[in-house]
Chains A and B, each alone.
Chain A
């Protein structure tokens, strides 16, 4: 049963990701990117990362995609301001042909890892409490650095939005 859900979620993620880089209008790309993000959230839930699942839905599908859609509507994009890309599919296929050997090499490296039991050891793996304890015990300094980064990006966005820089 888990395998069937895994295959369905993976297929929907990959197909909608391909449609995202293929679509002409940025609005269609954004909507199919939502499908990719929600499928990835489902994959996180299958891997029993419940807090990452929540953060993925709230931050990505809730905040970032909403920001992208808002900017697309705010810019009021006309047909002539979209770039002309007549050989789009050809370029995509050529770049995929160049990337596939690297993927095969990496997958061979992954396949040599020993087959470990993917089953869970304890019940609170990936819960909010366990993740928070780990975050504030071992990862406190990177966590504070991330907050500094968010403040810097806030200031940067305000500076960009001013009329005269």
Chain B
């Protein structure tokens, strides 16, 4: 059976990849999927620690994190559709200007 440290190494690596994606990319879909990846890495930590401490509360919290990320998916993607209709681009830097005019075509 693998140790807790190796499991945490995988979880931290996935979380770091998520942070790197949020920092360094401009495509808003990739930013969103990096956010989801960070939530998944936290889920992996919760489930691994619940196995370590022999209690199932961590799995309940992981299930709630999944529910919150499902709610986030609906809102975030409807916002992306709205902004893409207004601005016509997927660049996250363009969204700092939240005007109503269609400037960037």
Contact = CB atoms under 8 A, between A and B. Distances in A.
B98 interface: no
A92 B37 contact: no
A81 B29 contact: no
A111 B8 CA distance: 9
Interface string A39-63: 0100110011101100110011001
Contacts, number: 226
Contacts of A100: 16
Interface in B11-27: 12-14, 16-21, 23-27
Contacts of B25: 21, 85, 88, 91-92
Nearest to A122: B54
Given A26-B27, A67-B74, A33 B33 contact: yes
B66 A56 contact: yes
A146 B14 CA distance: 26
Interface residues of B, number: 71
B5 A103 contact: no
B5 A21 contact: no
A96 B20 contact: yes
A108 to B, nearest CB: 10
B10 A13 contact: yes
B20, B54, B77 — which one has the most chain A CB atoms within 10 A of its CB? B20
Given A2-B2, A49-B47, A49-B59, A36 B71 contact: no
A64 B92 CA distance: 21
B60 A135 contact: yes
A159 to B, nearest CB: 9
A118 B51 contact: yes
Contacts of B14: 13-14, 17, 36, 40
B5 A107 contact: yes
B2 A6 contact: yes
Contact of B70 (A63, A91, A110, A134): A63
Which 4 A-B residue pairings sit nearest by Cβ, starting from the closest? Answer: A91-B24, A21-B21, A83-B91, A153-B71
8 contacts: A26-B27, A56-B43, A64-B73, A81-B84, A91-B25, A96-B17, A138-B57, A157-B75
Given A83-B91, A156-B78, 8 more contacts: A49-B59, A67-B77, A68-B77, A96-B16, A106-B12, A118-B51, A134-B56, A135-B60
